[in-house]
Amino acid sequence: PTTLLPYSERIQLHTNPTAKRILEIMDRKKTNLAVSVDVTTAEEALEVVRRVGESVCMVKTHCDIIEDFTLAFSEELVKLSKELDFVIFEDRKFADIGNTVSLQYSSGVHKISSWADLTNAHSVPGPGIIKGLSTVGQPLGRALILLAEMSSSGSLAVDGYTKQTFQMAKDAGREFVVGFIAQSRIDTDISDGEDWLILSPGVGLAAKGDSLGQQYRTPKEVVGDAGADVIIVGRGIYGIKGGEQAVKDEAERYRKEGWKAYEERLQR
Ligand code: 5FU
């Protein structure tokens, strides 16, 4: 199963260029950390990215919370992603019919497909959502992940929903859909040679959750016990008190924790 293989040996199990690049970066920079940059101005967001860039394989954005979003911002983000060697993941959570999501992905103010290497979608509308997004993203070498589980308490994405989401991805093939947002490896380890990336939000070393339903686990629980590939950390890193150096140090702390959990997993 995938969880016992090093990231480097999983590169060849993918055909999607973004999936390959994620695994290459993880191996090269020794990091399975994604930082979620959930701040509300372009300058703040870029500042966090400059602080954490060396420690991460991925920067996750919510472009619709940035008050002064422009394409100059996304261009700068792309520039930093090349300089500091990380992938850009826009956490858009598309959730509409194929035709609408293809427009939301390519057009509007944000033109997500022009700058985000990776984005995600809910499976609730059915396979047309994958088709619609792939029409836009696949020719550009982009990748998609589906939300199979969520970190928030009371989520309806459980049991049968999770299973059917996995099946929808399998049916679509791995040219464009390369993995899942999930809290576990779901069923992805059952088939050898068919590698899926599992990205897990809800990671924190300090808090257990917030007042709005978020639930946190440690990198050890997420990577070591649950078998996820990428840990996604937001407030635990950009929200740390103590200024710019503290943010940088905290990103390194999470990178080390995540990498240690991965190395221990490989030893089992
Ligand atoms: F799909 C999901 C999920 O199940 N839980 C999440 O928390 C996405 N997220 C995102 O990860 C959420 O929208 C935030 O951007 C981020 C977690 O941020 P935190 O500050 O680490 O709680």
Q: Take atom 9 of ligand 1 and give the residue whose Cα is closest.
A: 201
First-residue to last-residue Cα distance in the chain: 12
The DSSP secondary-structure symbol of 67 reads T
Question: What distance in Å separates the CA atoms of residue 54 and residue 256, rounded to the nearest whole number?
Answer: 13
CA distance to 31, 88, 96, 169, 240, per residue, from 259 (Å):
6, 20, 36, 27, 21
pTM confidence score: 0.98
Counting ligand 1 atoms within 8 A of each CB, the residue from 39, 92, 214 with the most, and so the one to mutate, is: 214
Q: What does the pLDDT look like over 60-97, one tens digit per residue?
A: 999 999 999 999 999 999 999 999 999 999 999 999 99
Coil vs helix vs strand at 55: helix
Ligand 1: lining residues by beta carbon, under 6 Å? 36, 38, 62, 91, 147, 150-152, 181, 201-202, 214, 232-236
Q: Which whole-number Å values give the CA distances from 8 to 21, 182, 185, 224, 230, in the listed order?
A: 11, 22, 19, 18, 14
- What separation in Å is there between the alpha carbon of 36 and the centre of ligand 1? 8
The pLDDT of residue 191 is 65
Residues of the chain with confidence (pLDDT) below 70: 190-192
The predicted-structure confidence for 37-63, as pLDDT tens digits, reads as follows 999 999 999 999 999 999 999 999 999
Distance between CA 14 and CA 259 in Å, rounded? 22
C-alpha dist (Å) from residue 98 to 132, 138, 150: 4, 14, 22
What's the 200 CA to ligand 1 centre distance in angstroms?
9
Which residue has a Cα nearest atom 10 of ligand 1?
201
Distance 37 CA to ligand 1 centre (A): 10
Reduced to 3 states (helix: H, G, I; strand: E, B; else coil), residue 52 is helix
119: phi then psi, degrees, rounded to nearest 5? -140, 180
Nearest to 194 by CA among 169, 212, 213, 218: 169
> What DSSP state is assigned to residue 160?
H
Q: Which atom of ligand 1 is nearest to the CA of 147?
A: 1
Cα–Cα distance between 93 and 116 in angstroms, integer? Answer: 13
Position in ligand 1 atom list of the atom nearest CA 120: 1
The token pair that represents 153 in the structure block: 């308490």
pLDDT at 75: 98
* 8 A C-beta contact, residue 37 and residue 59: yes
Give the position, in ligand 1's atom list, of the atom nearest the Cα of 155.
4
**What pLDDT, on a 0 to 100 scale, did the predictor assign at position 190?**
64
Is 93 among the catalytic positions?
yes
DSSP string, 69-82: --HHHHHHHHHHHH
Judged on CB neighbours under 10 Å (0-12, 13-18, 19+), 211 is exposed
